Structures are given as structure tokens and as C-alpha cells.
Amino acid sequence: MRGFTQYKSRLLGVACATVMLATPAIGIAATATTTFQVTATVLSVCTVSATNLAFGNYDASSGTPNDASSAVTTTCSNSTAYTVALNAGTGSGATVAVRRMTNGANTLDYSMYTTAGRTTVWGDGTLSTVTQAGTGNGAGQALTVFGRIPTGQYVTAGSYTDTVTATVTY
């Protein structure tokens, strides 16, 4: 039996050694770290929108010009300088200084201004007109368009329309 006991002791020793080798050592773990850059390039951007300039009814005999207003709103990246120009529109024979709404072959003159006093014509910077400038702040910035139809235009009755393009340059 003595041989069996020695065999059993050796077997137990081998089993314990195997378990110890298979068990990970505590406190021997290691780590490694690194850093990396995160980048992006922010582009200057602007958008533009506008509300309609609706004059309503026009009476050539009233002796008072027909005034109305609308808004051109720009939204530009923070610190982005911009200008807003208004073209002559699509009316036949129109210029940025004197625009024309049409009803078939008939035309009705009007102008658009940068101020409520209607002294500075808002156009594209030509023909004694100016553009409006600003600096973006990331939020919508409204610029008021002051429109006027002069008195005394005895034209054919009906509905007159025009389409003006607002262009933001940044």
C-alpha cells in the first residue's frame, strides 16, 4: 500500500502544479495607451430665404405711393461676412433701379429700398443701387425690403407680378 500512497501523493502534487500553472497570476497585468487627433474643417456657409413683397391694391389716382415691405433672411456661419443683392427681376425692360411687374404685355413700375424712407435703392450695386452687408452669427438675420409703387401709373387693370432673385455672397 505504500506504493499506492506514494503514487497518490505524486499524482496529487502533479494535479496541484497543473492547477497553479493554469491559474493566471494576480497583479501581473499590463496596459498600453496611445493618443490620436480628432479633426474637422468647418466651411463658411450661408443660406437665404425671403418673404413675398405684396403691395395689395394699387390706385393710380390716390396721390400717395403704394408702400409695402418684406424680409430677406440670411443665416451664415459665425463671423462670415456677406452681402445680399437683389436683381432686376423678370419684368420686361426692368433694371435694378426701376423694376417692372407685368400683366401680359402691360407693366407696372416699382422700386425696392434699404430704408423705410425709401431713399436708397436696393439692387446689385450697379446703376446707383446698393447691396446690404452683414456678418453671420449662426442665426437668421432679417433684412427688410421696403417697396414702393409710384403714383400716377394709369395702366391696364389686373394682377401684376414679378420675380426677384436675392443672392447672398460670402
Looking at the domain assignment, is residue 30 inside a domain? no
pLDDT of residue 9: 54
In tens, the pLDDT along 30-77 reads: 999 999 999 999 999 999 999 999 999 999 999 999 999 999 999 999
> CB of 99 within 8 A of CB of 108?
no
**Confidence class of residue 13 from pLDDT cuts 50, 70 and 90?**
low
* Between residues 66 and 28, the one the model is more confident about: 66
CB atoms under 10 Å from CB of 15, counted, come to: 10
Alpha-carbon gap, residue 73 to 166, rounded angstroms:
10
Check residue 161 and report its DSSP letter.
B
Provide the pLDDT for residue 162.
98
The answer on pLDDT for 24 being more than 90 is: no
CA distance 158 to 106: 10
For the segment 115-155, what is each residue's pLDDT rounded down to a tens digit?
999 999 999 999 999 999 999 999 999 999 999 999 999 99
The answer to whether residue 4 is domain-embedded is no
* Number of domains making up the chain: 1
Which residues make Cβ contacts (< 8 Å) with residue 79, sequence separation at least 6?
135, 136
User: Is pLDDT above 90 for 12?
Assistant: no
What's residue 39's pLDDT?
97
In a domain, 170, yes or no: no
- Domain span at residue 136 reads 46-155
The reported pLDDT for the residue numbered 27 is 75
Q: Which three cell numbers stand for residue 30?
A: 499590463
Taking CB atoms within 8 Å and a gap of at least 24, the contacts of 99-105 are: 99/162, 99/164, 100/162, 101/160, 101/161, 101/162, 102/160, 102/161, 102/162, 103/155, 103/156, 103/158, 103/159, 103/160, 103/161, 104/158
Distance separating alpha carbons of residues 114 and 136, to the nearest angstrom: 19
Q: Is the pLDDT of residue 20 over 60?
A: no
Q: Does residue 11 sit within a domain?
A: no
For residue 127, the SS3 value is coil
Question: Within a domain: residue 10?
Answer: no
Amino acid at 72: V
Q: Distance between CA 2 and CA 143 in Å, rounded?
A: 107
Residue in 152, 161, 150 with CA at minimum distance from that of residue 90: 161
The reply to whether 83 falls in a domain is yes
- pLDDT tens track for 30-42: 999 999 999 999 9
User: Is a pLDDT exceeding 60 seen at residue 10?
Assistant: no
Q: Could you tell me if residue 15 is inside a domain?
A: no
| Residue 139 forms part of a structural domain | yes
pLDDT at 44: 96
CATH assignment at residue 72: 2.60.40
